[in-house]
Amino acid sequence: MTETEKYEFDRQGFIVLPDFLRQQEVDCLKPAIQKLEKHARKNYQLEPRNTRKPNYHFNPEGGYHVTGGHQHGQTLIIEDFFNFDPAFDFLVNHQKTMDYIDGIVREKIAINNSELRVRYTGNFSGGHGGGYARGYKHRYSIKTGDIDCMMVRFIYFTHDVSNEGGAFCVVPGSHKSAFPCPYACSIDEEPGMLGLEVKTGDAILFTEALRHGGFTNHKNETRMTLHVGYGPYWMMSQNIATMDEPLFIKPETWKRYNTEQKELFQPWLRQGPEYQLT
Ligand SMILES: O=C(O)CCC(=O)C(=O)O
């Protein structure tokens, strides 16, 4: 992270990283994303349901949890996408990503969230977050002259997303706001809300303390983005289906990872010979 990026991240609570993924990486992710959306669309209403979150289907074959719907105005949120396809493996301990996370999370780092967000025409993501809600999980702070974040997120884009197409949107600087957002209007009309238009291969890094959401998708195309959350090593899953449990990683997925990748998934919490570190 350059000094300019650090300044901008602190000032705004996010940075847009143009051309972050190589073309080869986009080409690897794109078919896997499409395959996962198709799989989840076919299965999300089936049994088994997640016992703690019955609105989620757990898919044993694909290793994911999914909720939502696929009609106009709906979204499918597919958590634990890492299990679905080895095409996603390179995003675990992705050097370029980790260089940024290292610059803003002070403790040993772990992945605490992974989701493919599928947003069909007419869907929006409601605004949430904002510095006033400085709960320990989302806290943004400065310690001994450096950025010290709890949960932060990367979003990876494998197609262009315009404001019309449901851009991820933010209220810049709101990670430092002292008061709750007073607006009850639609996210598209919220004062201060800024859409971040991006191109294929771009990424966005933001602190969960920032007020953010997604504009309404008015295009006749589905918006599909990969979101990965990071934080200190002790923070458990921040996926909704498995909140505050160890992040769900299938033994088959675990086996594919090298030691450095496994270190990002709290190996000390995983029992049994199928979860060896080396
Ligand atoms: O991209 C969106 O529509 C919203 C994403 C979001 O809320 C998040 O990643 O925390």
Per-residue pLDDT of 7-44, as tens digits, reads 999 999 999 999 999 999 999 999 999 999 999 999 99
**Which of 155, 159, 196 to probe ligand 1 with, by most ligand atoms within 8 A of CB?**
155
- Per DSSP, the three-state class of 217 is strand
Domain boundaries, the chain: 3-275
- Taking the centre of ligand 1 as the mean of its atom positions, its distance from the CA of residue 169, in whole angstroms, is 8
Q: Quick check: CB of 267 below 6 Å from ligand 1? A: no
Q: What is the pLDDT of residue 133?
A: 61
CA atoms within 13 A on the CB side of 27: 3
Residue 64 pLDDT greater than 80, yes or no: yes
pTM: 0.97
Q: 25 with 96: CB under 8 angstroms?
A: no
What confidence tier does 232 reach under pLDDT thresholds 50, 70, 90? very high
End-to-end CA distance of the chain: 30
Residue 132 pLDDT greater than 90, yes or no: no
Residue range 49-54: mean pLDDT, rounded: 89
**Rounded distance between C-alpha atoms, residue 76 and residue 38, angstroms:** 11
**Which of 227, 230, 238 to probe ligand 1 with, by most ligand atoms within 8 A of CB?**
227
Residue range 123-141: mean pLDDT, rounded: 88
Q: 268 with 106: CB under 8 angstroms?
A: no
Per-residue pLDDT of 180-221, as tens digits, reads 999 999 999 999 999 999 999 999 999 999 999 999 999 999
Closest atom of ligand 1 relative to the 115 alpha carbon = 9
Closest atom of ligand 1 relative to the 215 alpha carbon = 3
**Rounded distance between C-alpha atoms, residue 242 and residue 170, angstroms:** 26
Residues facing 109 on adjacent strands: 232
Q: What is the pLDDT of residue 51?
A: 86
What confidence tier does 131 reach under pLDDT thresholds 50, 70, 90? confident
Q: Which amino acid is at 107?
A: E
Residue 243 pLDDT greater than 70, yes or no: yes
Q: 232 with 107: CB under 8 angstroms?
A: yes
**Which of 79, 117, 119, 158 to probe ligand 1 with, by most ligand atoms within 8 A of CB?**
117
Closest atom of ligand 1 relative to the 153 alpha carbon = 9
What confidence tier does 158 reach under pLDDT thresholds 50, 70, 90? very high
- Taking the centre of ligand 1 as the mean of its atom positions, its distance from the CA of residue 125, in whole angstroms, is 7
**Rounded distance between C-alpha atoms, residue 208 and residue 170, angstroms:** 11
Residue range 131-144: mean pLDDT, rounded: 84
Residue 134 pLDDT greater than 70, yes or no: no
Q: Shortest CA distance to 187 belongs to which of 213, 168, 211, 225?
A: 213
Q: Quick check: CB of 125 below 6 Å from ligand 1? A: yes
What confidence tier does 114 reach under pLDDT thresholds 50, 70, 90? very high
Q: Quick check: CB of 227 below 6 Å from ligand 1? A: yes
Per-residue pLDDT of 161-184, as tens digits, reads 999 999 999 999 999 999 999 999
Q: Locate 215 and state its tokens.
A: 């504009």
Mean pLDDT of all residues belonging to the chain = 96
Domain at 3-275, CATH homologous superfamily = q2cbj1_9rhob like domain (2.60.120.620)
42: CB partners within 8 A, 6+ apart: none
Closest atom of ligand 1 relative to the 214 alpha carbon = 3
